[in-house]
Structure formats: structure tokens, C-alpha cells
Amino acid sequence: MPTTHEMYDQAVELKNQGDLEGAVSKLKEVLEVDPQHGDSHSALAVYLQRIGRFDEAIEHAKKVCEIAPNDSFSYTQLSVIYVKCGKIQEAEDAKAKEAEVRAMNS
């Protein structure tokens, strides 16, 4: 049985080959083994947004913030996902949270 890291790498390879749906499926397999795998949630947020599955993309971006609440980049990614999904106020709120976390970590 491949490790979660190997499965994640397989998902990235699928994405690199242009198979976003396959990459999404592989990342969901990773999350079945390790529901807290932050890199998989992060990648899912991006890939799902790219294929127009906006609500799912947002949920995975939010999960990254839950897993890593002190990582300002988590909120930056959430903000970007919100923008790409057309949710500007939510994007601004996430960006404000990013600034707050960044200041707290300084």
C-alpha cells in the first residue's frame, strides 16, 4: 500500500499530465487515509476551483485554515480561492485574517 506522501505525489503527477479529475480522485483517497493531510486539502482547493467545483474548493481551502490556523499562507490561499470563485467580500475577510495572523506571528 502506498504511503499518503506517495499517493499525493501520484495526484500531482496526474495534474501535471492534465488529468485534474484523476488528481482530485487521488487526493480524496489520501484524505480517506489521513483526513488532516493539509497538502491534499490545499491542492484540492486549487484543482476543484480550476474545474468549476467552487463550493468544494472553498471547503477544502477552509479546512487548510483549520489545520494550520497560524499559517498566514493558508488564509492567502483561501482569499485567492474566494476571488476565483467570485466571492469578493469573503476574499477580503480572509485577506484580513491573513494580515492578523501574519502580525501575530511577527
CATH of the domain at 66: 1.25.40.10
The rounded distance, in Å, linking the Cα atoms of 66 and 36 is 9
**Host domain of residue 80:** 4-105
Whole-number pLDDT of residue 106? 87
Residue range 9-18: average pLDDT? Answer: 98
| Count of structural domains within the chain | 1
Residue range 7-29: average pLDDT? Answer: 98
Question: Average model confidence (pLDDT) for the chain?
Answer: 96
